Chain A
């Protein structure tokens, strides 16, 4: 059973960079058809897809965040990471890492981390 665990600072100052890492266990980060994703949820609100990275390093970022976003993957550590720069209070949210599984006729988020609350405040 694949498990995901987010880690990173819970408090970030405005204008600084939010950095989170997701550690994968119980499965290979190099699996075909697995897209390593980030999703966030503002307090009490709905879900917003941030983007994904494939084990090869290819990425797709939500255009709404693209200018401030970067993702990376470290297959040797079974980890993938998110960096969001120039943060504001609007970036305060629970950040989830998740696996997007893609097949011929399906595409959905199967495994999720427990979520990491990141607060942007001075």
Chain B
């Protein structure tokens, strides 16, 4: 199985801050990576697919980059509604696997 490791596991930030979350794959997954946002009590929501493609309706302050084994999700100018937990997920090979999550908390 491909292991996905996210860092940090949590981050405290203020409204307006830039936040970067890293996801590392245990082997090359090219750009077969997606990012999700999950708020308490809700299902995850896709933000980014194919490592850097922004899902329709997702604000442009969200961006994804990377290929191979290292990927980043960046939120520029953090907004109150962005406080949530973020997960990466690889789609290179089965079984599909998720990172452990990064909780973005209010500072």
Q: Which residues of A contact B (CB under 8 A)?
A: 46-49, 60, 62-64, 96, 98, 100, 105-110, 112-115
A110 x B44 contact (CB < 8 A): no
Query: Can you report 16 residue pairs joining A to B where beta carbons are below 8 Å apart?
Result: A46-B99, A49-B98, A60-B94, A62-B95, A63-B95, A64-B95, A105-B50, A106-B50, A108-B34, A108-B49, A108-B89, A109-B36, A110-B46, A112-B43, A112-B44, A114-B42
| B46:A46 contact, CB within 8 angstroms | no
Query: Which of B32, B34, B53, B99 sits near A109, CB closer than 8 Å?
Result: B34
Residues of B within 8 A of A (CB): 31-32, 34, 36, 42-46, 49-50, 53, 87, 89, 91, 94-101
Residue of A nearest to B43 (CB): A112
B43 touches A106 (CB 8 A): no
Q: Which residues of the partner chain B approach A106 to less than 8 Å between Cβ atoms? A: 49-50, 53, 91
Query: Which residues from B are CB-within-8-Å of A107?
Result: 32, 34, 49, 91
Q: Is the CB of B43 within 8 A of A47?
A: no
Q: Contacts A106-B50, A107-B32, A108-B89 hold; do A48 and B98 have CB atoms under 8 A apart?
A: yes
Q: Helix, strand, loop or mixed for chain B's interface?
A: loop
Q: Are A46 and B43 in contact (CB under 8 A)?
A: no
Query: With a CB–CB cut-off of 8 A, which chain A residues contact B100?
Result: 46
From residue B36, how far is it (CB to closest CB) to chain A in Å?
A: 7
Q: A46-B101, A47-B87 are in contact. Are A109 and B95 (CB under 8 A)?
A: no
* List of A residues within 8 angstroms of B87 by Cβ: 46-47
A63 CA to B101 CA, complexed, in Å: 22
- CB-contact partner of A49 in B31, B42, B43, B97, under 8 A: B97
In the A-B complex, the 10 residue pairs with the closest CB atoms? A107-B91, A112-B43, A108-B34, A108-B49, A49-B96, A47-B98, A106-B50, A62-B95, A106-B49, A46-B101
